[in-house]
Amino acid sequence: MLNLHMPTPTDLQLEMKTRVTRNKAYLAAVGIEYSMFEPTITGLKKSILDATRPVRSHFESENFHFYDKQGQGDDFKEIKTAYFVTVNSVEPSRVSLYRPKSKKGDPRMWFRNLNGFAQPFDQIAIVVFNDELYLLNFSHIELESLAAESAAAAFITQYTGSKNSIADELLQKLREIAKAPIKVAVVGDTAVGMAIELALNIAANSSKQPDYKGIELKGGRSHKNRSNLFAQVAEWDISPCKSSADILDKYGYPRGDDFKLYCTISTQRMNPQGLQFFYDEPSDYLIEKDRDGKSVAIWPGKVLRDRLVEKHAETFWIQAKSTTIDGVEYFDLISVTHTKRPLVSQLLPMIQSGMITMDHLIKRKGGNKPTVSEKGPLFKINKRDLSFLFPEPKTYSLKD
């Protein structure tokens, strides 16, 4: 008799894809930076893995390894410690990082005994911690349902605990300050932040660096499906079009007295203006092309990653209530919302998958002296996908 409930290969494939997606969201929620690789049949057989651009960018951002500074051949091979993290154990391994003499010396890596940890086409996550690599097989583990005593859960707790120590220190200081109202130091939009900095003995300065050991302090708080991540123009020196005006002239359209190019660019499909994104992994270039395949504008991946970090640093958003005592304004600190820096290693993969898109907002107004204005290019993300890029914000009462 046919078992109607027996899973088909398609069902199992969908189940695995769903599991991988959940695991990605989980690591993002707890603020663990990671990159992904997928071993092939040939790769497992020959003990060769390509160190893809997302993996290399991840290693560089964590100061773990820099392939572009590595020579070719065995004399320059580096061996470092790695671990296979499963539900029940953390098994030691070694990772070889090298560039072969053959061909162009494409970056390679290999993990000893990987064949016992992964099957062809499994989705493997790499986490860098204390200058060592930890691998989790997203295809065969459920991070959301880990028991607290499991080996994988213990690793995650160890990682997040070390990363949260400064935030815990700042939170404790704010709770001490919040025991009594703090006096206003200046008037205006920066009043809350300045009063808090003064209470924390942070010297006033005009630096763009974060306020407290890498954490930005903000005394404020603020709907559409897509949210702005950041604005970033192309690298004009390496782009065929040398300005937003050039792009407008070639691909814009008339709207009344104005000439515009208001459109969304994605890797997934060509838009009505014939424009589409392509990611060239070897060069780490995000390239905008037209319907004839001609390049329009180029964004180096490093520029985009740096812009994301600059725009979304780790931040304490502090809610304060204004109160007046003897005719003088004070702030009563109520709560703080902690947002961590985004997972920069996921930016380009998310652009590749179409989860992050870009909007051109270029316009030349009509009139005797027409000028071109550009409100972007705005890189945007659907709010439902924020959890894949940003750790989940946590809000703490300062009155506990």
Per cent of the chain over pLDDT 90 is 53
pTM exceeds 0.75 for this model? no
Query: What's the whole-number mean pLDDT along residues 250-272?
Result: 93
Distances from the Cα of 254 to the Cαs of 177, 273, 336, 365, in angstroms? Answer: 58, 13, 48, 10
- pLDDT band, very low/low/confident/very high, at 142 (cuts 50, 70, 90): very high
**pLDDT tens sequence across 56-109:** 999 998 889 999 999 999 999 999 999 999 999 999 999 999 999 987 889 999
Span 154-209, pLDDT tens digits: 999 998 887 677 888 899 999 999 998 888 876 655 677 788 888 888 766 544 45
Residue 29 exposure: Cα atoms within 13 Å on the Cβ side: 9
Band (pLDDT 50/70/90 cuts) for residue 340 is: confident
Query: Residue 142 has which token pair?
Result: 């459920």
Lowest mean pLDDT among 21-30, 42-51, 281-290, 334-343: 334-343
The number of beta carbons lying within 10 Å of the beta carbon of residue 328 is: 10
Q: Is the pLDDT of residue 221 over 60?
A: no
Cβ proximity of 238 and 298 under 8 Å: yes
Rounded CA separation 47/95 (Å): 11
pLDDT for the residue 322? 83
pLDDT, residue 220, reads: 44
Rounded to 5 degrees, what angle do the CA atoms 38, 388, 49 make?
15
CATH code matching the domain that covers 226-310+342-388, chosen among 3.30.70.3570, 3.40.50.2300, 3.40.50.1100, 3.60.20.10: 3.30.70.3570
Q: What is the pLDDT of residue 368?
A: 58
Residue 339's pLDDT band, with cuts at 50, 70 and 90, is: confident
Type of residue numbered 182: I
pLDDT at residue 188, rounded to an integer: 58
With a pLDDT cut of 70, the percent of the chain lying above it is 90
pLDDT score for 208: 46
Going by pLDDT thresholds of 50, 70 and 90, the confidence category of residue 112 is very high
- The predicted structure's pLDDT at residue 223: 38
Q: Domain map of the chain by residue range?
A: 9-163, 175-222+314-340+393-397, 226-310+342-388
State the chain's mean pLDDT as an integer.
87
175-222+314-340+393-397: which CATH number, 3.40.50.1980, 3.20.20.80, 3.40.210.20, 3.40.50.970? 3.40.210.20
Q: Give the per-residue pLDDT at 258.
A: 87
- For residue 348, is pLDDT > 70? yes
* pLDDT attached to residue 209: 52
pLDDT band at 15 (very low <50, low <70, confident <90, very high): confident
In the block, tokens 């599991």 appear at: 19
What per-residue confidence (pLDDT) applies to 234?
96
The phi, psi pair for 195, rounded to 5°, reads: -65, -40
What residues pair up with 244 in beta bridges, in sequence order? none
Range in 66-75, 93-102, 141-150, 366-375 with the lowest mean pLDDT: 366-375
Weakest mean pLDDT among 9-13, 105-109, 153-157, 281-285: 9-13
pLDDT at 210 over 70: no
CA distances, 303 to each of 36, 183, 233, 284 (Å): 21, 41, 10, 10
Burial class (CB in 10 A: 0-12, 13-18, 19+), 164: middle
Number of neighbouring beta carbons within 10 Å of residue 77: 16
Residue type, 342: P
CB contact at 8 A, 347 and 355: no
More confident residue, 390 or 293: 293
Check residue 1 and give its pLDDT.
Answer: 44
Tell me: pLDDT of 222 over 50.
no
The pLDDT assigned to 303 comes to: 95
